[in-house]
Chain A
Amino acid sequence: MNWVWFHKLASPPTAYAFARALRPWLFWPAALMMIWASYAGLFVVPPDYQQQDAFRIIFVHVPAASLSLLVYSMMAIAAGIGLIWRMKLAHAVAAACVLPGAVFTVLALATGAIWGKPMWGAWWAWDPRLTTELILLFMYLGYMALRASFDDIGRADRASAVLALVGLVNIPIIKYSVVWWNSLHQGQTLSLFGKSAIDPSMVTPLLVMLLAFLMFFGALLCDGLCAQILRRERNAQWLLKQVQ
């Protein structure tokens, strides 16, 4: 098998062209799927027997929460690849992951709070899942702060890569520490959380929405990567030719 095309992807011009070409193929299907899943989630799926219509926020909340963790892992892996094989493009990918990841985390927290108010009677509870998500947001913010504090982009890349990897090792520890933290204390039963054996009619829109979020993130990543390449290669000949 010939892997030349794959290795070529690591060069900025190819990656730039690839990301620009790929973007519409991710964005438009994602938009269509989102519209369909929103329609199905809001109008087709019957109301929950316990939560009535309030549960419908699940179609935003669950995809956002899944992506918040997935994007962090992706960012850390890209950063690790960049650090180990000294691949600049991998660092650019990691840099492009941060903002969408942080926004997904905020979205998961916000939708969770909006959902929690009618269901639990409180905007916030120190439930393990919520706490882990909040710490994840802090980790994104710390990563952003470190990245922003270097003038030299190469050093910013490598220093933040070390932080992302330390964070990746720490994520399971944080997760389980928070889970045990609460369960050791007292059995606070916050299992109103959709444990009512999710109805089959809800599954399809949810999965479609998840896929839509994934592809939407892919489109955002393409945009972010192009922006990163534009910034990093602003003096390169190929870019000048491309722009003119």
Chain B
Amino acid sequence: MSVNSQSLSPFSLAALILRRDLHLAARRWDQVLQPLVFFVVVITLFPLAISPELSELRRIAPGILWVAAMLASLLAADALFRPDVEDGVMEQWVLSGQPLAWLLLAKTAGHWLLTGLPLVLVTPLVATGLGVSSEHWLLMFSTLAVGTALLSVLGAIGAALTVGLRRGNMLMALMVLPLEMPVLIFGARAMDMGLHGEAVTGPLSLLAAMLLLSLVLGPFAMAAAIRISIE
């Protein structure tokens, strides 16, 4: 970046980070596709393991989608900060004098665009395979969009804590999954209620409230964790 970063407003700074991450992703498509393929593969396991009956699958579809989304976001989160830490970009960010929490939030937003949003967009496809009819697409889009964003923030905290370690994958699952359980509960609940024709505003609002809380507090935890990880 040849721009004098001291004179940038926080928003153009975030835009620069987003643009950089999207550029990088455009040149490495496999990294965007992998979580997506993983998501679809995990969902395929359930009909094989439980029952191919559509009526049965329709009943547990919210749970399947949410568990698969959680695992996919967990696996994707490991690669969130690792390349930047390994090639020294993160060190420059820490030294740049810019608010690290804000930079990391922008980074996480980019991560969600690349790994969370595709999951949301592909959901109708897999949901149809689980016997969910098309009238529920909006419901699935909204719950999964909020939920995957929340999963991205929580995963980013875990990724920031383990980025200094050589093998952090299993450890991250151990740390992050318990913290993500409320997301699973409210997300699957909202979807389940919606599929039964009930109002979903309750669990969906709670999910959104949790997202706002995590957006406010999460970046500071990430920044603290990154500083510890790269020292």
Q: What DSSP secondary structure best describes chain B's contact surface? A: helix
How many B residues, CB 8 Å from partner?
30
Q: Is B186 an interface residue (CB 8 A)?
A: yes
A39 within 8 A of B: no
A-B contact pairs, 22 of them (CB 8 A): A135-B178, A138-B178, A141-B174, A145-B171, A149-B162, A149-B165, A149-B171, A150-B165, A155-B164, A162-B221, A162-B225, A162-B228, A165-B221, A166-B157, A167-B179, A174-B178, A174-B179, A174-B182, A178-B181, A180-B206, A181-B189, A184-B202
B179 A177 Cβ-Cβ under 8 A: no
For chain A, what secondary structure do more than half of its interface residues adopt (helix, strand, loop), or is it mixed? Answer: helix
Instruction: Note all chain A residues with C-beta closer than 8 A to B168.
Output: 149
Contacting residues of chain A (169-205) with chain B, CB-CB under 8 angstroms: 169-170, 173-174, 177-178, 180-181, 184
Is B8's beta carbon under 8 Å from chain A? no
Residue from A143, A158, A173 having most chain B Cβ neighbours under 10 A: A173
Contacting pair A155 B231 (CB below 8 A): yes
Mark each residue of chain B from 161 to 173: 1 if its CB lies under 8 Å from any CB of chain A, else 0: 1101100100100
Please tell me if the beta carbons of A142 and B178 are within 8 angstroms of each other in the complex. yes
The reply to whether the CB of B229 lies closer than 8 angstroms to some CB of chain A is yes
Pair A83/B178 contact, Cβ less than 8 Å: no
- Residues of chain A with a CB closer than 8 A to B189's CB: 181, 184
Of the candidates B176, B182, B229, the one whose C-beta lies within 8 Å of that of A159 is B229
Complex Cα gap A169–B221 (Å): 11
The interface residues of chain A lying within 8 Å CB-to-CB of B122 are none
Decide: B228 and A158 in contact? CB cutoff 8 A.
Answer: yes
**B210 contacts A by Cβ under 8 Å:** yes
Residues of B within 8 A of A143 (CB): 175
Cβ-neighbour of B186 out of A162, A170, A177 (below 8 A)? A177
Chain B residues near A146 (CB-CB < 8 A): 161-162, 171, 175
The reply on B16 being an interface residue by CB < 8 A is: no
Task: Scan B192-231; emit 1 where CB is below 8 A from any A CB, else 0.
Answer: 0100000000110010001000000100010011001101
